[in-house]
Copies of this chain bind each other. A is one copy, B any other.
């Protein structure tokens, strides 16, 4: 496989990742790819490269027949989906780093790829600089995987690390994450676990061949964490990490999956506890390959730009995802993926630490045996087994801090 195509790139978006890609591409050797036009929204912003690169009209990019690759690095998932769809329909390959767009539209994008034969790559969407999608595709394609879990959001991991190591407040740590370019423009997506969930959706499609709608996966974030929780975790020899979790189990002879995003107490001896600041870490467990662990920068201009570059390079030799685990399920016709949520196991008990201010907020939860209970003027918590499905009942804007023990 050698570079045999000249790539002319029409780029959408010139924010943190777009500018990172621009630099990385200019310093890469031997790659025949060039950014020729960049479509941006804001007409007033001053930019570090010449004006002639920019257009404010999407049509300018598509009108130009020379662009054989559309790289989409904008923020708005709906607009990104429109761009990707238009590009594929016009026979242009697409590289994107937009996890929400990919996760929200996985099935339709998968069908579009099958129909069109277009390359649609999105390594930059998951875990920045870690080549996890390509590894799941090419290395674990015939491996029986039993679990994949990880720290997938650089911004919330940065906040947790700053709070723990530097006794920083949540708000100050969040501001620093934003200043450093690790946070999404809407930080709620980071801290409430949505960003992690979108990435998890993409990973499980490649790891297990399941297409799940993000709405079907529970996510609880770190937005309500306090220094009290971090102290509690440290006293137990643990660190709090926001974890994407997926595991395959056999229940009554059938494969089922437990998939969720939750803060978790990670023992200090575990590899995942060594993942700090904006780093991401992913553990892949196979029946035969055993556990493998991947670590790298999960956010930032250059690491994500490098991941996008690697996709651009793959386009030069016509690489496409094989989606082997998904295609195994296609016998003559494409199955009804909308039923994949039936593979989710939700009827189990999970041990949680729950700190609360108002006891009323616990009411929607089905709590079985309480193992620990603590109350003081300032803080109340309990450690108990809770029915997983009852976690769905709590209000999105609750004040609870919930963490798997």
Partner of A143 from the list B28, B286, B289 (CB cut-off 8 Å) is: B28
Partner of A324 from the list B24, B30, B135, B274 (CB cut-off 8 Å) is: B30
**A141–B306 contact, CB under 8 A?**
no
Partner of A292 from the list B23, B130, B317, B320 (CB cut-off 8 Å) is: B130
Per the bound structure, the CA–CA distance linking A309 and B144 in Å amounts to 12
Q: Which residue of B lies closest to A311 (CB)?
A: B139
Per the bound structure, the CA–CA distance linking A324 and B314 in Å amounts to 12
Specify which chain B residues have a CB less than 8 angstroms from the CB of A1 in the assembled complex.
Answer: 319-320, 322
Per the bound structure, the CA–CA distance linking A144 and B328 in Å amounts to 37
Copies in the complex: 2
Per the bound structure, the CA–CA distance linking A400 and B314 in Å amounts to 48
Per the bound structure, the CA–CA distance linking A324 and B32 in Å amounts to 13
Residue interface bits A68-97, CB-to-B below 8 A is 1, else 0: 000000000000000000000000000000
Given contacts A288-B303, A292-B294, A297-B290, contact A313 B141 (CB under 8 A): yes
Q: Which residue of B lies closest to A297 (CB)?
A: B290
**B320–A138 contact, CB under 8 A?**
no
Specify which chain B residues have a CB less than 8 angstroms from the CB of A307 in the assembled complex.
Answer: 289
Given contacts A286-B306, A288-B27, A288-B306, contact A135 B142 (CB under 8 A): no
**A322–B2 contact, CB under 8 A?**
yes
Q: Which residue of B lies closest to A20 (CB)?
A: B288
Instruction: List A1-58 residues whose CB lies under 8 Å from chain B.
Output: 1-3, 20, 23-24, 27-31
Instruction: List A311-357 residues whose CB lies under 8 Å from chain B.
Output: 313-314, 317, 319-320, 322, 324, 327-328
Instruction: List A122-145 residues whose CB lies under 8 Å from chain B.
Output: 123, 129-131, 134-135, 138-144
Q: Which residue of B lies closest to A139 (CB)?
A: B131
Partner of A289 from the list B142, B294, B302 (CB cut-off 8 Å) is: B302
* Listed residue (A2, A138, A303, A324) with the most chain B CB atoms within 10 angstroms of its CB: A138
* Listed residue (A292, A295, A302, A310) with the most chain B CB atoms within 10 angstroms of its CB: A292
- Shortest Cβ distance from residue A36 to the other chain B in the assembled complex, whole angstroms: 18
Given contacts A30-B142, A144-B28, contact A290 B296 (CB under 8 A): yes
A188 within 8 Å of B (CB atoms): no
**B293–A297 contact, CB under 8 A?**
no
A193 within 8 Å of B (CB atoms): no
Specify which chain B residues have a CB less than 8 angstroms from the CB of A23 in the assembled complex.
Answer: 288
Per the bound structure, the CA–CA distance linking A135 and B314 in Å amounts to 12
Shortest Cβ-Cβ A-B pairs, 10 listed: A293-B295, A292-B296, A289-B306, A131-B139, A1-B322, A28-B142, A288-B302, A129-B289, A288-B306, A24-B288
20 A-B contacts, Cβ less than 8 Å apart? A1-B322, A2-B322, A27-B287, A29-B142, A31-B142, A134-B135, A134-B138, A138-B138, A141-B313, A142-B309, A143-B310, A288-B303, A288-B305, A289-B296, A289-B303, A289-B306, A290-B297, A292-B296, A293-B296, A294-B295
Given A289-B296, A289-B307, 13 other A-B contacts at CB below 8 A? A2-B327, A27-B144, A27-B288, A28-B144, A31-B142, A139-B310, A141-B313, A143-B310, A288-B309, A290-B302, A292-B297, A293-B296, A317-B322
Interface residues of A (CB under 8 A from B): 1-3, 20, 23-24, 27-31, 123, 129-131, 134-135, 138-144, 271, 274, 286-297, 302-303, 305-307, 309-310, 313-314, 317, 319-320, 322, 324, 327-328
